[in-house]
């Protein structure tokens, strides 16, 4: 559950007093101002995770039964969330894909007699389930804009430590091209960049903030992701950035004028994308050469040359090794994989692709279950009628892209990010639709509101 690959921590003389001040700021300005228990838990979960990870030299150490302090706290958060969320929300049809994924994990674990890894993986998706429901419920209870503003406060600590790492010159040099990453002493640049991407997603929906403050937060998130220097997150966030930028440029114009302006903004977006591609051309140079010739990546791992093994920061070789190893397994493994976390002790590092990892660990059933999960949330975003549909779709696409070269579901940070995306998607999908004056809601709208699997209690209506 943890990834600590040579991260460079901030010095304690600045980290400890800064942490104390930041904890007080979070408690005073956010946690105690949240009006409901579920809202407070939504704020506490990411904030506490980020806090513990900044002290990874202690929290990643084994505590009980080989589990780290981080793993124990994640399990505790999952159990607390399950007890706090409403039962009827646990039974929503839109959450069935998460239950399907957990079922496949359990089935694979049973077939492979794998207990420890199965529990760990199931808890992570249970964590995703809890976060999704808590975000959905708190948005309904507190209100979209007020809750969104509060949900930005857990990120004050990551940004503060990022700023300190830049000022103090505390950076991590782990890339083969010699580039460095500023991650504020976090455990790894992948997790830290996902933290900033989560803040960016929330800020996209916090439209009640003053324009300058909101744009400052959004720009800070993008700048932070660039400083974190994790290529996968930099690429994944592009769809959401493009949609947001185009919406910001179209906002001052009347709807009747926007058809003409759309062409101009689309052209400007392409120019900006081309400029960024030129600026970061050296950082992404190996991606262009990876397909020359076209079959350079389509071969068993033992056929990879020394140069081929460096493609995509070694990812192509890693993917090939996982897929080839799965093909050499037994018949049961071809269907259900080799079990959750079965790569540990076999490969030196995780697969860096969620689909490849699912094939190895859970077989084709796991791949299908994962695609079912992503596509169901994406289609739910497409069905939103009154709300930021384009932003929701872009956020879902960005998360899917993120899974193609790293494994956010393997990191709690990634499950927090997707939990917020799922929670916002459900909120805007089930938010009461405003019908025109004198016109009742359509049958489709009524069906969308009645989403519970269980019948409503007598004398009460089912809440949507």
Neighbour count for residue 277 (Cβ, 10 Å)? 10
Q: Cα separation of 191 and 185, whole Å?
A: 11
Q: Cα separation of 424 and 132, whole Å?
A: 8
Name the residue with tokens 């894909």.
Answer: 97
Q: Cα separation of 450 and 351, whole Å?
A: 40
Tell me phi and psi for residue 452, to 5 degrees: -65, 145
Query: Which residues is 68 bridged to in the sheet?
Result: 62
Determine contact, residues 413/198, Cβ cutoff 8 Å.
Answer: yes
- Tell me how long the chain is: 464
Q: Cα separation of 46 and 354, whole Å?
A: 22
Could you tell me the end-to-end alpha-carbon distance of the chain, in angstroms, rounded to an integer?
Answer: 34
Tell me phi and psi for residue 125, to 5 degrees: -75, -30
Q: Cα separation of 250 and 260, whole Å?
A: 10
Give the per-residue pLDDT at 218.
Answer: 96
* Domain spans in the chain, listed from the N-terminal domain onward: 12-248+388-433
Give the per-residue pLDDT at 106.
Answer: 97
Name the residue with tokens 């991407």.
Answer: 197
pLDDT per residue as tens, the chain (464 positions): 444 444 578 888 999 999 999 999 999 999 999 999 999 999 999 999 999 999 988 888 877 766 778 888 888 889 999 999 999 999 999 999 999 999 999 999 999 999 889 999 999 999 999 999 999 999 999 999 999 999 999 999 999 999 999 999 988 876 556 678 899 989 889 999 999 999 999 999 999 999 999 999 999 999 999 999 998 999 999 999 989 988 877 666 566 555 556 656 666 656 665 665 555 555 555 554 444 444 555 678 888 878 777 776 778 889 989 999 999 999 999 999 999 999 998 999 999 999 999 999 999 999 999 999 999 999 999 999 888 999 999 999 999 999 998 999 999 999 999 999 999 999 999 986 543 333 444 444 444 344 333 444 444 433 33
Give the per-residue pLDDT at 217.
Answer: 97
Q: Cα separation of 372 and 58, whole Å?
A: 37
Query: Which residues is 67 bridged to in the sheet?
Result: 64
Name the residue with tokens 């975003």.
Answer: 381
Give the per-residue pLDDT at 451.
Answer: 39
Tell me phi and psi for residue 61, to 5 degrees: -80, 150
Q: Find the helix or strand (DSSP H, E) in which 107 lies.
A: helix 96-112
Q: Cα separation of 147 and 168, whole Å?
A: 34
């Amino acid at each position: 559950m943890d990834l600590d690959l040579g991260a460079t921590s901030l010095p304690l003389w600045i980290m400890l007093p800064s942490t104390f001040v930041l904890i007080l700021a979070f408690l005073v300005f956010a946690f105690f101002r949240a009006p409901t228990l579920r809202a407070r838990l939504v704020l506490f979960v990411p904030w506490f995770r980020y806090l513990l990870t900044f002290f990874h030299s202690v929290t990643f150490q084994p505590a009980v039964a080989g589990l780290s302090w981080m793993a124990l706290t994640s399990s505790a958060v999952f159990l607390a969330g399950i007890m706090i969320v409403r039962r009827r929300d646990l039974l929503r049809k839109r959450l069935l894909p998460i239950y399907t994924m957990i079922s496949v994990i359990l089935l694979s674990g049973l077939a492979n007699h794998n207990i420890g890894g199965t529990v760990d993986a199931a808890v992570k998706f249970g964590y995703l389930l809890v976060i999704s429901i808590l975000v959905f419920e708190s948005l309904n209870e507190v209100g979209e804009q007020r809750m969104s503003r509060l949900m930005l406060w857990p990120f004050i600590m990551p940004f503060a430590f990022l700023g300190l790492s830049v000022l103090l010159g505390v950076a991590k040099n782990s890339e083969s091209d010699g580039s460095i990453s500023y991650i504020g002493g976090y455990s790894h640049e992948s997790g830290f960049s996902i933290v900033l991407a989560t803040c960016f997603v929330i800020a996209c929906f916090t439209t009640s903030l003053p324009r300058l403050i909101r744009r400052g937060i959004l720009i800070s998130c993008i700048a932070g992701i660039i400083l974190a220097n994790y290529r996968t997150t930099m690429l994944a966030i592009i769809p959401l950035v493009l949609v947001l930028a185009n919406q910001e440029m179209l906002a001052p114009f009347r709807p009747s004028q926007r058809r003409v302006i759309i062409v101009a903004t689309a052209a400007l977006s392409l120019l900006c994308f081309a400029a960024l591609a030129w600026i970061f051309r050296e950082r992404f140079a190996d991606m262009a050469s990876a397909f020359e010739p076209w079959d350079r990546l389509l071969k068993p791992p033992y056929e990879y040359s020394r140069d081929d093994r460096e493609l995509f920061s070694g990812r192509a070789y890693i993917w090939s090794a996982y897929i080839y190893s799965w093909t050499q397994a037994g018949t049961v493994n071809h269907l259900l994989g080799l079990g959750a976390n079965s790569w540990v002790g076999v490969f030196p590092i995780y697969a860096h692709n969620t689909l490849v990892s699912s094939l190895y660990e859970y077989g084709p059933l796991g791949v299908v279950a994962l695609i079912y999960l992503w596509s169901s949330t994406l289609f739910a975003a497409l069905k939103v009628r009154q709300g930021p549909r384009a932003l929701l779709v872009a956020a879902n696409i960005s998360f899917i892209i993120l899974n193609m070269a790293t494994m956010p579901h393997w990191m709690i940070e990634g499950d927090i990010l997707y939990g917020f995306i799922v929670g916002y998607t459900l909120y805007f999908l089930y938010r009461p639709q405003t019908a025109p004056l004198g016109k009742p809601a359509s049958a489709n709208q009524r069906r969308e509101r009645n989403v519970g699997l269980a019948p409503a209690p007598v004398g009460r209506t089912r809440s949507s």
